[in-house]
Amino acid sequence: MSKNWRNTTAIFLTVLLGCVLFYAGTDGFRAFTAESARTYKLLKDKPKFPDVTLEDSKGRVYSFSEFEGKYIMLTFIYTSCSDVCPKLEMNLAEVYSKVPKAWIGEDILFLSISFDPARDDVDTLEKYRKAFESDGETWRMARIADQAELDHLLEEFGVIVIPDGEGGFTHNSAFYLVDRKGYLAEVMDFTKIDEAANTVVTTLKNDTGE
Amino acid sequence: MKQTGLGIILYGILVIPPVKAYIESIMLLHMLVQLPLLILAGWFIGDMLIKKFHPFFTAWNTDGVPGMILVVFITMYWMLPRALDEAVSIYYIELFKFISLPFVGLFLRDSWKKMQTLGKSFIFLNYLSMFALMAWLYIDSPIQICNNYLETQQKVLGWGFLVITIWMILYLLQAVFTDHSEKAE
């Protein structure tokens, strides 16, 4: 195959270059889609949850910093969503039921944040809350009324929301766990309920020292 | 020289911002029109470059294998769903696209004619199976693979890949069953 040393050298170099390209392009063969790359990057950066103002299904208005001292299990949704969000919320309900009662409300809160504040007003959120039988206290449904705050949060947490032109949105979904100080601790696959519940329980166990 | 001019014009059209934005807004056009056209532009531009740097190409790409390895790696990279996604959202990936793909065309032009039939067949079959895999991946995927493109666009792209795969199979069949003895002599 080698007609001269230059050609042989070039073969080695190009193979090496190719491998470097793939290594760099996939975060060391870990992330082949932008979504997995996003999760990988989020877990490396561990961004702080911006101090946004929430308005929940009970009409209460408060800032996110009020949750300081508790873990927050988060999802991003919009209520008129017909495919992913109901699944996401149903799975979140299952995770909720798998976390020991003693911790709920004390050490951890569940929160579903709507990124469609125009349609998801207090009444709509309340209906949605009832549909998933959340208590509105330890599992809250809330919107962020201020569009600038919302956009900043979505950007920080890498949530990409694209209007689909028919009143809906296409968006990536995951469970997010924010720690007691407000920093992102985990991003979990929302389709793997047991795995997510395990992660949450283990994190709390380590943290509370039980 | 005529071809080189054509290549530069083609490249120039592809980098015009509105053209670029429109093509990239549709997944099928992005992957199956923009990427191949960038390669084609490089192929045309290569006309002059290969002649001008003939000693370099003869020395370092004697049997066409090094060039072909680059072609395979770079095109495979651009078939990662992630690469396409990031080209839209990260500027340096976009820049890399507009630089790396013309080089693919250039190296392809220089390497293809130097390679032997066995090597060519291997490359052809490699791409055939890769395109079939991409078709299956994009049509069958129940989830959205790219964050910047909708699932329906993903399916359309999958069908696009399937059409290419079928063409390649048809080409292969006619190549096997037609008489090449005249050409060989």
Instruction: Please indicate whether residue A98 or residue A44 has the higher confidence score (pLDDT).
Output: A98
A85 is in an annotated binding site: yes
Confidence at residue B176, expressed as pLDDT on a 0 to 100 scale = 83
Give me the interface pTM, i.e. the ipTM.
0.79
A26 neighbors A34 (Cβ within 8 angstroms): no
pLDDT band at A208 (very low <50, low <70, confident <90, very high): confident
Q: Where are the domains of chain A?
A: 1-30, 42-208
CA nearest neighbour of A163 among A207, A203, A119: A119
Sign of the dihedral defined by the CA atoms of residues B94, B96, B102, B108, in that order: negative
Q: Does A34 touch chain B (CB under 8 A)?
A: yes
**Range A42-208 classified under CATH 3.40.50.2300:** no
Contact A34 B148 (CB under 8 A): yes
What's the CA gap between B176 and B181, in Å, rounded?
Answer: 12
Q: Does A17 touch chain B (CB under 8 A)?
A: yes
Sign of the dihedral defined by the CA atoms of residues A22, B131, B66, B38, in that order: negative
pLDDT tens track for A153-171:
998 888 888 777 677 787 7
Q: What is the mean pLDDT of chain A?
A: 87
CA nearest neighbour of A50 among A151, A153, A148: A153
Q: How many angstroms separate the CA of residue B180 from the nearest CA in chain A?
A: 26
Contact B147 A1 (CB under 8 A): no
SS3 A83: coil
Chain B residues close to A21, C-beta within 8 Å: 73-74, 77
Nearest to B82 among A4, A13, A37 (CB): A37
What's the CA gap between A70 and A103, in Å, rounded?
Answer: 10
Rg of chain A taking only CA atoms, in angstroms: 21
What's the CA gap between A83 and A77, in Å, rounded?
Answer: 11
pLDDT tens track for A31-81:
777 777 878 888 888 888 998 999 999 889 999 888 889 999 999 988 888
- Find the largest Cα–Cα distance for chain B: 53
Confidence at residue A2, expressed as pLDDT on a 0 to 100 scale = 45
> In angstroms, how far is CA A136 from the centroid of its own chain?
20
Q: Please identify which residue in the block is written with the tokens 């929430």.
A: A54
- Whether pLDDT at A1 is above 90: no
Low-confidence stretches of chain B (pLDDT beneath 50) = 184-185
* Residues, chain A: 210
- Run of H or E including B2: helix B2-15
Average pLDDT of the residues in A7-25: 90
Q: How many angstroms separate the CA of residue B36 from the nearest CA in chain A?
A: 20
Confidence at residue B105, expressed as pLDDT on a 0 to 100 scale = 95
Contact A162 B148 (CB under 8 A): yes
Nearest to B146 among A6, A11, A34 (CB): A34
3-state helix, strand, coil in chain B (%, to 5): 85, 0, 15
Nearest to B80 among A4, A11, A25 (CB): A25
Chain B residues close to A9, C-beta within 8 Å: 60
- A203: tokens are 């994190």
Percentage with pLDDT > 90 across chain A: 32
Chain A residues close to B83, C-beta within 8 Å: 25
User: Which of B147, B151, B155 has the most A C-beta neighbours within 10 Å, making it the best mutation to test the interface with A?
Assistant: B147
Q: Where are the domains of chain B?
A: 2-179
